[in-house]
Structure 1
Amino acid sequence: MTGGQALVAALEAHGTTTVFGIPGTHNLPVYSALAHSGIRHVLTRHEQGAGFAADGWARAGGSPGVCLTTTGPAVLNAATAVAQAYSDSVPVLLVSPGMPLRHPAAGNGFLHEVKDQRAALAAVVARSDRVTSVEEIPLAVAHAFATMTGGRPRPVHLEIPLDLLDETAPVRIAAPLAMPVSLPDPAALAAAARLLTQAQRPLIVAGGGAAGAAAELRQLAERLGAPVVTTANGKGVLPDAHPLAIGAGLHHAAVRALAAGSDVILAVGTELAPADLWYGPLEPGGPLIRIDVDAKATTANAVPDVAVVADAAAALSVLLGQLRPLPPGPARAATERAATARAGLQADARTEGNRWLGLTAALAGALGPEGVFAGDSTMACYYGALSNLPAHRPRSFLYPTGLGTLGYGLPAAIGAKLARPDAPVVALHGDGGLMFTVAELAAAAALRLPLPVVVVDNGGYGEIRAEMADRDDPVHAVELPAPDFVTLARSLGCHGVRAADAAAVAAALPAALATDRPTLIHVPESGAH
């Protein structure tokens, strides 16, 4: 088979059902093979949108997303998306052609030539591999999926020299590699169990690495009587309605006070990153235990008293067997402690997000218990939705933490809706961030997705405007004369609605979730509360 056919066959062998991308001169052999495969191709309007959509697919659906670009500017357009995926530990495979096998090392002005394309991508992904034969392509795909699904999930780039895509060779498609579950060291787990058994006021901090261990984490929290607070990516690991759930947002004063008053903290699947903490590290009132599949992450930002390097579900499952259930009296006290902490976080969140409380209530009503929220790096999201929008399940709150890119929400929502077609999905953007990927409204319209895209308009880059003012700097270069967003949406094949306030947003959302195309709902920030 040809190199293009080998790639597509290998992707199918690894369970790929959807690929996001744009065809170009150098990847046409792949598109020829796709046309004869069972893989659905989703045509985005920009390669960054394709990368974000693959990210949204992976986060919401729990399986690797695949992005396909051509060479040079196309793959570099997708670089921001895979850099965000790396930051948030999301498994995305970016496949691109590269220069021919015998391309001059010094370059010669070939179409889409980049000085060192593979190295450029290697700087922002877990690994960037270039194959040198058709026979190697299926093996490289198998290795990429092994990297993405074994240990800490992160993106991989695969470069295939463009002349190999039409070259024919005998090929054997490699089956998916069965990756072993990382099991905990018994001594480390015993040490953790001793500390937790002695604890009177334990606390659990859950990150995105706990998404696959939701059941075990809930059982452990109940056995310990431990309140659970989450990072942005951990939001929903314990449903917010659970009596031990505190909510999301490690930066709140109530969380810092809770940590300081806890005699043991168990951090699961989190780097305790500055992007989550905002105002400096937590100051635990007792020993710190960390569980993470990535050894480096167990010491990132805070050196633990006990480090358990293991799959979160495997470690928590074994740990459960070493702990006894709480008697009724301490269990009631634990629930009361959690209720006090939750009330504190909610008070902090309402104060911080006051401007957007009506909007978050409208979103909560529309999403219900099965919904998926895809937010952009916008004030309405990180001040409003992060801690005020309830989450009911893991993988339901998609947000570009860490790298903090703009333009993420809409294309990520497209990927999420395709991964979970029966779930309501809503995107939230600011007026500035939407313009980074607004063209993906056309992609969503072509797919006939019932996707509400709520745009909170504050007339520019509101966060940067505020930071300039806080520094007593001249406030400039942040004002954005607004386009007519409603007309723009309609011109791209979507519905467009003007909402004067949060009540109007709430009224528009049910119809937007039931129609045959995306609906942009434009609301001024002054009406979002």
Structure 2
Amino acid sequence: MSHDHDDRPGLNAAQAEAALNPPPGRVGGDLVTETLQGLGAATVFGVSGRPAPGLSAALRRSALAYVELGAENNAAFAADAYGRITGEVAVLLLTAGPGALAALPALQEAAAASAPVLAVCAQVPAAGLGGRRHGYPRELRDQQASFREVVKSVHPVRTASQIPSAIAAAWESALTAPHGPVWVEIPEDVLRAETLLPPVSALDATPRELYPRPELTLVAADLLARAARPAIIAGGGVVRADATGKLRALAERIAAPVATTYGGKGAFPWKHPLSLRSWPGDPCVTELLEAADVLLVVGSGLGALSSGGHTFAPRGRIVQIEADAGKLEANHPALGIHSDAREALDALLDAVDAREDPAAADRVRTALETAPAPAADQERGPAADQGSGPDARVLAAVRAALPDTAPSFWDLTPLTTLAWSAFDARRPNTTHSAQGAGGPGYALPSATGAAFADPTTPVLAVTGEDDAPHTAAELTTARRYGLPVTWLLVDGDGPGASGVQDGGPAAVRPDLVALAESLGVPALRSTPASLATDLKTALHAPGPSVIVLRAG
């Protein structure tokens, strides 16, 4: 039997010479950086002054850009955002023990958002693995166990020769639908030890395609074509799969109203005649979706945040397209199709017959007419009437100032929860918030990572003033690298703020304008009336800036 080996990667003359005569002074850490470069990485994230042992010198010898943040969790948030914006693997370098554990909440967020983050973490020396020897600094008896239920896959390394294969396998896993964070763990002594292994070259980590089963596509297409009142819910999986164009084509083919989950914002045009905008929200929109005789759910597991706390009760047949097999039919019985959203929508477009329904747009319009006032305020702009409420006017000012292509990152505040339902993302993959792990401190480091992904586009971070101290240190990162990040802080007693718990002590707030100015970052205090102008000026200025929004 003959075999065709023409597709095997080969070596050029320089690579062959290096393989036969490896450069001196290389260590296990060089195998890490060489593998990452071979796979296409250009930027890696970590903590200032503390990359994993054995990697400092290797990074200096490589062409990789090492981005230093102030804390592990912030570095992981930055990597998450970099992965979301680019769609490429974002590399995160961590030290063993406490450093690794500090990044755990951000990796949980990356898992919830299907962001492709590759965490390369040090581990205690190989002699201490498996409980054979104890007492090493930063020792966790089973470090992998802390991450195994959070990340998509775990890839332990025990010898230098295993490094390239482990990282390549992790890279492939991170980019195979559903995207997600992955974990590579390498003992410190392996990273530090000199190696005579040849430089890494000719790597292949092509992600596997996830196609729908044809018989399921046929059944789904038949159900949608014969439906009297089909509807679609689009989640973050549509955005991650770059399938927004195919979603629109299918919705128009079958005249189906489309609602997007909070994670799917931007997956469908806000002002399209079939757009139900962001959901869950208005009861009339919910009723329209629940009354659909065939409901197509694409790229969403309809979890608690995407179903009104599991109160959503659809009465018709559900077709669910989901790349994460564990989410198929997890919350509702359905015709479950395990597939990448792009591939499944493409297959449906080939299989489904067009249907006419002139009344579909009328049903959408009727449902939206009952929407709360804030949803309409964006249409009227930042000068909306006083009856619309202060948060709505602030949100309208943000929309007026923010360029359509500029990404924004939101910490959890009442302004953010309003934005989930009432903010027109205008473009897919531009509006992001912490929905998996929650908690404060997401917005600013994430905006930092996005700025590294595209330093030509301004980035907005929105944080409650009381939560700002969690990540204020990252202003130094934005300042050091000259990043176009504008940090909007909503006043603790003003619009969009989280406020103070009843009966609790008042928060102690630093003067964030003075803090920013002490770092050489332009800062000012704004009001709802001047916010649109102030924010537009800041977003179009070079480098970072801070705006503190006061009540009036």
What secondary structure does 1:178 align onto?
coil
1:26–1:70 Cα contact (<8 Å) kept: yes
Q: Which residue identity is paired with 1:356?
A: D
Q: Call closer, same or farther: CA 1:24–1:425 in 2, change over 3 Å.
A: closer
2-side partners of 1:47 and 1:325: how far apart? Answer: 51
2-side partners of 1:57 and 1:271: how far apart? Answer: 24
Q: Call closer, same or farther: CA 1:458–1:179 in 2, change over 3 Å.
A: same
Q: Call closer, same or farther: CA 1:295–1:114 in 2, change over 3 Å.
A: closer
Q: Which residue identity is paired with 1:266?
A: L
Structure 1: which 5+ runs fail to align? 467-474
2-side partners of 1:165 and 1:90: how far apart? Answer: 26
Task: Please report how far the alpha carbon of residue 424 of structure 1 lies from its aligned counterpart in structure 2 after TM superposition.
Answer: 2.8
What secondary structure does 1:444 align onto?
helix
Percent identical pairs in the alignment equals 34
Structure 1 length-normalised TM: 0.91
Equivalent residue for 2:210?
Answer: 182
Equivalent residue for 1:309?
Answer: 338
Q: Call closer, same or farther: CA 1:161–1:459 in 2, change over 3 Å.
A: farther
Equivalent residue for 2:23?
Answer: none
The answer as to 2:486 corresponding to 1:452 is yes
The answer as to 2:530 corresponding to 1:504 is yes
Among 391, 402, 417, the alignment partner of 1:367 is 402
Q: Which residue identity is paired with 2:491?
A: D
- 1:35-434 aligned at under 5 Å gives the runs 35-103=60-128, 105=131, 108-167=134-193, 168-171=195-198, 172-173=200-201, 175-211=203-239, 212-304=242-334, 306-327=335-356, 330=357, 332-345=358-371, 347=373, 349=375, 354-382=389-417, 384-434=418-468
Equivalent residue for 2:506?
Answer: 479
Q: Call closer, same or farther: CA 1:220–1:484 in 2, change over 3 Å.
A: same
What secondary structure does 2:265 align onto?
coil
Deviations 1:7-34 (A, max 9, x none): 1111112221111112566724212122
Q: Call closer, same or farther: CA 1:124–1:279 in 2, change over 3 Å.
A: closer
Equivalent residue for 2:13?
Answer: none
Structure 2 length-normalised TM: 0.87
- Moved runs in structure 1, 4+ residues, more than 6 A? 350-353
Q: Call closer, same or farther: CA 1:369–1:225 in 2, change over 3 Å.
A: same
Cα RMSD (Å) of the superposition?
Answer: 2.3
2-side partners of 1:41 and 1:139: how far apart? Answer: 22
Structure 2: which 5+ runs fail to align? 1-25, 378-386
What secondary structure does 2:306 align onto?
helix
Equivalent residue for 1:471?
Answer: none
Task: Please report how far the alpha carbon of residue 94 of structure 1 lies from its aligned counterpart in structure 2 after TM superposition.
Answer: 1.4
Task: Please report how far the alpha carbon of residue 177 of structure 1 lies from its aligned counterpart in structure 2 after TM superposition.
Answer: 2.1
Equivalent residue for 1:492?
Answer: 519
Task: Please report how far the alpha carbon of residue 230 of structure 1 lies from its aligned counterpart in structure 2 after TM superposition.
Answer: 0.8
Between stretches 432-441 and 445-454, larger displacement belongs to 432-441
Q: Call closer, same or farther: CA 1:131–1:288 in 2, change over 3 Å.
A: same
Q: Call closer, same or farther: CA 1:227–1:77 in 2, change over 3 Å.
A: same
Among 17, 24, 33, the alignment partner of 2:42 is 17
1-side partners of 2:406 and 2:269: how far apart? Answer: 13
Q: Which residue identity is paired with 1:424?
A: P
2:53–2:192 Cα contact (<8 Å) kept: no
Q: Which residue identity is paired with 1:517?
A: G
Task: Please report how far the alpha carbon of residue 143 of structure 1 lies from its aligned counterpart in structure 2 after TM superposition.
Answer: 0.9
1-side partners of 2:317 and 2:81: how far apart? Answer: 36
Q: Call closer, same or farther: CA 1:316–1:121 in 2, change over 3 Å.
A: same
Q: Call closer, same or farther: CA 1:299–1:479 in 2, change over 3 Å.
A: farther
1:241–1:392 Cα contact (<8 Å) kept: no
Task: Please report how far the alpha carbon of residue 498 of structure 1 lies from its aligned counterpart in structure 2 after TM superposition.
Answer: 0.4
Task: Please report how far the alpha carbon of residue 280 of structure 1 lies from its aligned counterpart in structure 2 after TM superposition.
Answer: 2.8
Q: Which residue identity is paired with 2:147?
A: L
Aligned residues: 512
What secondary structure does 1:321 align onto?
helix
1-side partners of 2:388 and 2:174: how far apart? Answer: 36
